[in-house]
Chains A and B, each alone.
Chain A
Amino acid sequence: MRVGGSRRILLPLALVILVGGFAYLSYGGVGDNLVYFLTPAELLAKGPSVYDRPVRLGGVVVPNSVEWNADALDLRFGLTDGLKTVMVHAHGAPPQMFRGNIGVVVEGKYDQSGVFESHNLMVKHSNEYHPPKPGEKPSDVYKTLVRDGGS
C-alpha cells in the first residue's frame, strides 16, 4: 500500500472518525449501564422512572422487620434512611451478622408493586477497626454477635 499525499490526510481522518464513533458508542453504553446509588427517600422521590432500572440502595435495616424463612431461603426486611422505608425482598441466606440497625447495600430493581427485588445484599464494609478492649477475647465478640444475630 503506497501512502501518497491525499492518503496522508485520509488515514488520520479515518482514524478520528473511527475513534469518535467508538467513543460515542461506549459513552452510550456507559449511560445504559449506570447503576445509581440511592437512599430510600431518593428512590421514592424518583417515581416511576426508576422502575426496572439497576439501583444500589443503601440504608439501615429496620429493627424487627426481618422475616427469614430458612427452608425457602426467602428474606424480607425494611430498609430505611430515617426518612422513608422501602421493603426489600431477597432470595438466599442473609450474611451471618445480618440484624436490625446495621447498614446494608442492596443491589437490584424497584418494581411497580413497591418492593425492591434484590439480587445482591452486602453488609456495609466498615474499615475502621477498634482494638479489642482489655479483657475482650474474640470468642466474646463472637458470642455477642450471635446473640444479636437473631433479630
Chain B
Amino acid sequence: MCVLAILLGVWGARRGHEGVIRGAYSAVYANAALMSLAVAAMLTALLTHDFSVKYVEQVGSRSTPTMYTIASLWGALEGSILFWGWVLSLYAAAVIFSNRHRAGALVPYAASTLMAIAVFFGVLLVGAASPFGLVSPVPADGPGPNPLLQNHPLMAVHPPLLYLGYVGMSVPFAFAVGAMLSGELEDDAWIVLTRRWTMVAWGFLSAAIIAGMWWSYEVLGWGGYWAWDPVENASFMPWLTATAFLHSVMLQQRRGMLKLWNMCLVVSTFVLTILGTFLTRSGILSSVHAFTQGAIGYYFLAFIAAVLLFSLVLIAGQCGRLRAEGNLDAVISRESVFLLNNLLFAAFTFTVVLGTLFPLVAEALRGVKVSVGAPFFNSMTLPMGMALIFLAGVGPALPWKRASREELRAQFVPPAIAFAAVLALSIALGVRDPYTALTFAFAAFALAANVREIWSGMRVRIRARGEPAPLALARLIGSNRHRYGGYVAHIGIIVVVVGIAASTTFRSEAEETLRPGGSMTIRGVSVRLDRVWGQEQSQRFVVGADVSLLEHGRVVGTLTPRQNFYPTSEQPVPTPSVRSRADADVYINLMAFDERGESATLRVLIEPLVSWIWLGGAIVVFGAGIAAWPRRSRLRAQAPVGAIARDPTPPRVPVGASAVVAHRAQAADLTGAD
C-alpha cells in the first residue's frame, strides 16, 4: 500500500495530474486504516492473552494488570516498531488531510517521502521484527513485561509521547525533501508547514523527555533523573537540533538567511531520531558484539546511510537556490543572537553525539570496553547550557536588524538588575558553587527579559484599547502565537533549569539501618521507621516499610518505600516513595530489610526544587501548544498589512525610549511577525 502511494505520489506530482495525486492520498489513508487494524489486532491478542502470537508469548502474562498489558504493546522491540509504523501512518494521514487542497507538487512529494519511511518500517515488521509470528505449542502463560516497565503508570505515558515526538520529526523531513524535489523552495509554504509540524513534534518530544526523567526519578531509586545514559541521550539529541531549527527558521522566514543550514538541521533531526531508535533497539549499546546477534541493526544502518546519501545529493543539487538573501545588519541584533544560539546548539549536539557514540567506536577500533563518564557531559554542557539560558534572555530583548542605544538601555536595565540582585542574593544565602550562583542569576536575567516582553505588550493593549489585563494577555498571545508561545516555552525552560541546578547542588542524603520505632534526622526532617511488612499480590510479592516524617516533633506525612519481587526477575525492583513539595522533595528508598521485619535500611534524600522540573516541563509543553495551535482565521494572517488600519484606536505613542520599544512591539504584533 505504501509503495503504491509513493509511486502514485511521485507520478502524480511529476505530471501534475490531479486524479493520480488523489489516488496517492487515498493510499495514504488506506495505509493509516490498515496500520490501525494491525495495532487493534495486536491489542486484542494482548488483552485476550492469545499466547499463540509470538509477541504476546514474549511479553504477555495473565497476572499482569490490564494497564500494563496495554503498555506492553510498545514495551519490546517488535511492538515498538509496530507502534512506530502506526504513529507514522497517522501523521501521514493528518498531514495529507490538512493540506489536501493545496496545489503544487510539494505535498505529493512529502506524502511519498513519508510513505518511503513507512515502507522501511513495514519491511522491518514483516522481516526482522515481525510481531505476528505463530508459536506452537501454545504456552499456558507468558513471562509478562520487563518488571521495570510495569512498576509505574508513567510507563504508559512516556513511550507514546516519545514516539509522537520522534515520528513527528519525519514530517518536517518529508516537507524538506518535498520542497527540494518539487523545486518549490522560493515559495514560503514549505517552511511555514515545516515550522508548524516541527513545533508539534517538538512539544511531544519535550513532554516525553520530561516524563522520562520523572519516570526515572520515581522508579529507578537512585534519586536522580538524568544520567547521560545513551538511551536518554538518544531522545535528547534530536530535541537539540529541533530546538536549534525552531530558532533559526525565523531567520529564514524574516530575513531569507540560513536556508542551507536549516535544511541540514531538518535532515539531521530526522537522522538522529532514526539513530536514536537504532541505538535503543538494536542492542548495540550493551556491546558492539551483541549487535551482530540481531539483523535489525543492519537494516537501520542501511536506512540511515540511504537517508543521508539521498539528502546530501538533494541538498547539493539545490545548493545554489539555498543561498542567503539577507545579511547581518549589526553585530548587536536579534539575528546575531540566533546565530550564536545555533552555534551553541550545534556544539551541544556534537558533544552529546560524541559522548554517546565514543564507546562504540572505541570498542570497534581498539577492542576495549569503555563508557564516557557523566563528568565529561557535565563539564562540556554546563557552560553551553548557561550561555543558552543567557541568550534566551538577550534574544527576545533585542530588536531585528539594528538596535539604537536607547532601545538597548530600556530593554536591558530591568533584566540586568534581576541578574545582579539574584547573584547577590545567592551569594548572601551561601551558594558557594560559582556555576550554580551564575545559573540562578542568568535564569533571573532571562526570566525578567521574557516576562518583560509579555508584560510590555500587555500594557500597550491595556492603555491603547482599555482591555482588562487578562483579556489583554489572551489577545496579545492570540495576536502572535509563535512569538508568545516561544516566550512561554522560554519561561518553562528557565524553571526546569533552576530545578535542575538547585536539586543537583543542594541535595543531601543519608543512609541508616533502623529498627521499628527508631529514627534518623536529615536537614530538620525526622524519618521514623514504623513497620516492615510483606504482601503477596497476583503478579508479585511486595515488601514495604511504613515511614513517618516528623518536623518539630509533629507527624507531617507518611511514606511507604517498597521492594517488589517478580518471579521472572532475579533482583527486586524498588519503588521509592516521594513526598513532593514546592520547596523540596523527601525521597526514601528501601535499600535492605531484615526478613523477620526487625530492621530496615533506608536511604533518604532531600532534593530541593525537583518538582520545578516537572512544572517547567508542563509550561514548556503549554508554550509549544500555543505556538503550534492552528490559527483561527487564516484570512487575518494573510491579510495585507494595510488591513490593520481598520483598527479604530490607533496606538498612542508615548514619549521616551520605552515608547519606541512598546511601539515596535505592538507593530510587530499587529503584523503577525516574530
Contacts and interface: CB of A to CB of B under 8 A. Distances in A.
Q: Does chain A bind chain B?
A: yes
A96 B544 CA distance: 13
Interface stretch (B34-42, B100-108, B138-146): B138-146
Contact of A138 (B330, B368, B371, B536): B536
Interface string B374-390: 01100110000000000
Interface in B347-393: 347, 350-351, 354-355, 358, 362, 368-373, 375-376, 379-380
A54 B371 CA distance: 10
B142 A70 contact: no
B612 interface: no
A84 interface: no
B351 A131 contact: no
B531 interface: no
A35 B569 contact: no
Interface string B329-361: 111000000000001000100110011001000
Interface string A57-73: 00000000000001101
Given A35-B373, A56-B371, A131-B143, A92 B603 contact: yes
Nearest to B351: A26
Given A23-B350, A26-B351, A92 B511 contact: yes
A95 B603 CA distance: 12
Interface residues of B, number: 54
A131 B139 contact: yes
B569 A37 contact: no
B601 A33 contact: no
A73 B539 contact: no
A108 to B, nearest CB: 12
Contacts of B350: 22-23, 26
A95 B141 contact: no
Contacts of A141: 541, 565, 567
Contact of A127 (B144, B146, B331): B146
Contacts of A136: 567
Contacts of A146: 595
Given A131-B141, A132-B567, A33 B329 contact: no
Contacts of A2: 327
B567 A138 contact: yes
A105 to B, nearest CB: 11
B571 interface: yes
B166 interface: no
A35 B355 CA distance: 12
B327 A131 contact: no
Contacts of B362: 34
A138 B566 contact: yes
Given A30-B358, A138-B541, A1 B567 contact: no
B206 interface: no
Contact of B373 (A22, A54, A137, A138): A54
Nearest to B599: A70
A118 to B, nearest CB: 14
B187 interface: no
A141 to B, nearest CB: 5
B143 A129 contact: yes
B539 A34 contact: no
B370 A36 contact: yes
A26 B567 contact: no
Contacts of B369: 36-38
Contact of A93 (B351, B368, B373, B601): B601
A6 interface: no
Contacts of B537: 138
Contacts of A71: 513
Contacts of B141: 131-132
A13 to B, nearest CB: 15
Interface in B516-543: 534, 536-537, 539-541
A32 B567 contact: no
Nearest to A18: B343
B329 A1 contact: yes
A96 B375 contact: no
B570 A29 contact: no
B384 to A, nearest CB: 10
A65 to B, nearest CB: 18
A118 B379 CA distance: 23
Nearest to B591: A93
Interface in B598-640: 599, 601, 603
B572 A96 contact: yes
Contact of A29 (B380, B539, B565): B380
B330 A1 contact: yes
Interface of A: 1-3, 18, 22-23, 26-27, 29-30, 32-38, 54, 56, 70-71, 73, 92-97, 102, 123, 126-127, 129-132, 136-139, 141-142, 145-146, 149
Given A30-B376, A95-B572, A138-B540, 10 more contacts: A1-B331, A26-B350, A30-B372, A33-B372, A33-B373, A34-B371, A37-B371, A73-B512, A126-B569, A137-B567
27 contacts: A1-B328, A3-B327, A18-B343, A26-B350, A29-B380, A30-B354, A33-B376, A34-B371, A35-B373, A54-B373, A70-B513, A70-B599, A73-B601, A92-B511, A92-B603, A93-B591, A95-B572, A96-B571, A97-B570, A129-B143, A132-B141, A132-B567, A136-B567, A138-B539, A141-B567, A145-B572, A146-B595
- Lowest 7 A-B CB distances belong to which pairs? A33-B376, A37-B369, A129-B568, A93-B591, A93-B601, A129-B143, A33-B373
